[in-house]
Amino acid sequence: MVSVQVIDKSSGTYRVKQTIGSSSDILEVERLVEKGKKWIESYKGELKLDLDGLKKQTHNILDNISELSLCGPDMLLGKIFDEIGFNKISSPLFKPLVLSRVENPTSKLKTTDYWKKYYNTEVGVVNIYRYLDKLHDNEQDLVQRISFEHTRKILGGSIQMLFYDVTTIYFEAEQEDELRRTGFSKDGKHQHPQIVLGLLVSNGGYPLAYDVFEGNKYEGETMLPIIDSFKEKYGFQQITIVADAGLINNRNIADLEERSYQYILGARIKNETKSIKEKILSLKLANGQSSVISKNESSKLIINYSDKRAGKDSHNRKRGLTRLEKQIKSGKLTKANINNRGYNKYLKMKGKVSIEIDRDKLEEDTKWDGLKGYQTNADMPPSKIIENYKHLWKIEKAFRISKHDLKIRPIFHRIEKRIESHICLSFVAYKIYKELERQLEIKKAGISPEKAIDIARTIYKIKIDINSKESVEKLLLLKDEQKWLAQLFELV
């Protein structure tokens, strides 16, 4: 007896699809085989018909896509925003304005266009301006407190060192007002009105507090108001301040000591008294060695020597002198060029009209190559003083990121409240950037915050209408890097 069956093994296992019949008659068996072949052809036709129907159904589904919107940045940056605690600020425009400064920093008007184009969200720019007024009046202090509390948490509950620096932000405007004033510009835009921005960060470069000052404010006068306010607000008993030499004069130091602050400051060792300069130049320090010189009862100088720094000092001086020599030969230098700006300090008058390089002054300057000073009243080993001071580069990085990556300028506002609110949004944006950077390092992701944001910008979702009342949404994770980022931060 022979049984004729149609067997399906497409799934890797044998499965009976259809029993055609059985017989012991050879002719009957042949007939059953032909019948089986016809059944297979018919079955294939049904499959083809089903595939055509599936294609048609798929097209119908695609035709019912009602929305395609960007969602990756909101998922990634919004998650970090909430984890920091900024979701305590309930104003509906605060979060999208902050995330936009990280994701796509631009003017408020262009931001509304961006939201409409990529997020299918319409917000009038007038509503944003009104919210900036509210942010200034009601929410700025809470913003800084949230940032402080989160920073204290990630640093293990203790903040002992405060790093302070200032920058200037100029405006494409001609008219001054009470806040926007002309002054010394770190961007070289001395003819433009500007503001002075002071920033206080923790070890690691995490932002703690900021303040905005008039553009003609001497930067050395900005530090103590921020630090005093910070200490009073959070109840600190002891604070160690780290700041660059450009912010410090004798009055600042006296004020710091009067308030019982410890400090680590960059020292202008070439401006010290004759006796101290002689002590410094008499030191015979090898590469990496340091020495302590007492300034007075409360303060000391840490002098450190570095071969690398000496090489850099020599290289920069030679490059500056080469430029001066070319300008002298071309006759471009005049009496007005003899000043203490950069390498112009090496110029002097020869006779009544000639300008030449002061070789004696140049030779004297080479003695200081490789030497750097730190003034402090902190009870720490010299190595710890130098190590803490080196962290100042992180606040310089903060300004660089804020100015370039987050595009804190140009500022398109002229009303003081809105200028300060714009700075507040940029402060929060930088905090989110730093937390993203920290989490990427913890996760050993091996990519920068910029790269993570770039990947997030490619993640979209679609909305499909089933009927007039029902719809479904689908997150599109099509590329491996999108899936990797979503898994890394547990976004889905």
CATH number of the domain bearing residue 234: 3.30.420
Q: pLDDT, tens digit, for every residue of 260-292?
A: 899 999 999 998 999 999 999 999 999 999 999
Q: Which residues contact 171 (CB under 8 A, 6 or more apart)?
A: 180, 192, 193, 194, 195, 409, 410, 411, 414
Tokens read off for 338? 């003899």
My answer on whether 488 and 419 are in the same domain is yes
Instruction: Provide the 8-state DSSP code for 285.
Output: P
Instruction: Please tell me whether residues 200 and 171 are part of one structural domain.
Output: yes
| Closest by CA position to 132, among listed 431, 408, 409, 420 | 420
Q: How many domains does the chain have?
A: 4
Q: CA 197 → CA 8, 100, 101, 134, distances in Å?
A: 75, 21, 18, 21
What is the Cα–Cα distance from 402 to 411, expressed in whole angstroms?
Answer: 12
**CA separation for the pair 265, 245 (Å, rounded):** 6
399 and 427, same domain (yes or no): no
Domain end position, chosen among 63, 81, 110: 63
Residues, the chain? 492
Does residue 235 sit within a domain? yes
**How much is the pLDDT for 115?**
92
Position 282 scores a pLDDT of: 93
Question: What does the pLDDT look like over 382-396, one tens digit per residue?
Answer: 999 999 998 888 777
- The confidence band for 11, taking pLDDT boundaries of 50, 70 and 90, is low
Tell me, yes or no, whether 201 and 279 share the same domain: yes
The confidence score (pLDDT) of residue 265 equals 93
CA atoms within 13 A on the CB side of 135: 29
**Token pair recorded at residue 214:** 């008039």
Lowest mean pLDDT among 361-365, 383-387, 403-407, 440-444: 403-407
The whole-number pLDDT of residue 441 equals: 96
399 and 430 housed in the same domain: no
- Please determine, for residue 301, whether its predicted confidence score (pLDDT) is greater than 90: yes
Q: Is residue 93 part of a domain?
A: yes
Whole-number pLDDT of residue 424: 93
252 and 332 fall within a common domain: no
User: pLDDT tens across 112-155, in order?
Assistant: 999 999 998 999 999 999 999 999 999 999 999 999 999 999 99
Confidence of residue 336 (pLDDT cuts 50, 70, 90): very low
Residue 139 maps to a domain: no
pLDDT in tens, 178-227: 788 887 877 777 788 888 888 999 988 899 999 988 888 888 888 899 99
Nearest Cα to Cα of residue 290 among 391, 376, 396: 376
pLDDT at 454 over 90: yes
pLDDT of 342 above 80: no
158, amino acid identity: S
What confidence category does residue 350 fall into, taking pLDDT thresholds of 50, 70 and 90? Answer: low
* Residue numbers of the domain that contains 319: 311-366
Same domain membership, residue 323 and residue 177: no
Q: What is the mean pLDDT of the chain?
A: 85
Domain membership flag for residue 282 = yes
